[in-house]
Amino acid sequence: MRNLLLRLCFDGKNYHGWQIQKNATSVQGVFQDSLRSVTGENCEIKACSRTDAGVHAREFCVNVFLNHRISCGGLKMALNRVLPRDIVVFDCAQVPFDFHARYSCVAKEYVYKILNTPVRSPFLEGYVLHYWCEMDLAAIQKSASFFVGTHDFSSFCTLDSRQKGDFRRTIKSFLVTRDEDIVTITVKADGFLYNMIRIMVGTLLKISQKRLKPSEISAILEAKNRALAGPTVRPCGLYLNRVFYE
């Protein structure tokens, strides 16, 4: 038996997130069926995280314990032949037995993409948030710097049964860049709370609209009150971009 780390890339447009759900198509469900059809084994799939409906992944890591003796390259090719065209395996490698896609992960990087033009783009539908108001990049960049470091992010978290315990997370970097019409927000942290990035982005847009001041971010963090932060923006602009292991 080997422990295999598979790196996937998927378009989340047509899925109700990663995790298997009743009465909804999930990436995990489709991937599990493909893995079974290739190997004949019913492996338990350990994933680096959950993603919400409509969220994409440029890198999503899972590990599985496999008895089948297929080579890593062979498994990658075989899976890509049976997977639908919106899910791809771009890497497969053997890892130590104690490797766990979620618990071994030391950091993750998400990207949020905003198309900032008066008219939407047919090609980017479902892949960006279309935002037509002028964006104050300087104010957004200034605000973003207040998120960096270790904070209790309760104000930037949708409360549900999944979120328990410690709300402290460490944001290692928070970059806001503009390339022509596309504004890209890149956030790297040791972990993320439920909807954390989507609420941070919603708050930054509120600052861009002058409905909040950059310096208010600190007070919102301290208040630990979800109601003070901005709205949760749509999932379509969100991508899990990189997953870091030691």
Residues of the shown chain interacting with its own copies in the complex, contacts defined by CB under 8 A = 9-11, 56, 80, 85-90, 119-123, 125, 127
Task: Decide: 63 and 95 in contact? Cβ < 8 Å.
Answer: yes
C-alpha–C-alpha distance, residues 163 and 206, integer Å: 25
The dihedral sign for the CA sequence 219, 223, 227, 233? positive
Hey, is 114 helix, strand or coil? strand
Residue located via tokens 């069926």? 33
Q: Which is nearer to its own copies, 27 or 201 (CB)?
A: 27
Q: Which is nearer to its own copies, 111 or 199 (CB)?
A: 111
In the set 11, 33, 52, 190, the catalytic residue is 52
C-alpha–C-alpha distance, residues 27 and 194, integer Å: 18
Task: Decide: 113 and 127 in contact? Cβ < 8 Å.
Answer: yes
User: Nearest distance from residue 56's CB to its own copies, in Å?
Assistant: 7
User: Nearest distance from residue 229's CB to its own copies, in Å?
Assistant: 29
User: Nearest distance from residue 184's CB to its own copies, in Å?
Assistant: 15
User: Nearest distance from residue 82's CB to its own copies, in Å?
Assistant: 14
Instruction: Confirm whether 52 is a catalytic residue.
Output: yes
Q: Which is nearer to its own copies, 132 or 215 (CB)?
A: 132
Q: Which is nearer to its own copies, 10 or 112 (CB)?
A: 10
Q: Which is nearer to its own copies, 80 or 170 (CB)?
A: 80
**Based on the number of CB atoms within 10 Å of its own CB, is 119 exposed (0-12), middle (13-18) or buried (19 or more)?**
exposed
Task: Decide: 221 and 151 in contact? Cβ < 8 Å.
Answer: yes
User: Nearest distance from residue 89's CB to its own copies, in Å?
Assistant: 8
Nearest CA to 78 out of 113, 132, 41 is that of: 41
Residue positions annotated with a catalytic role: 52
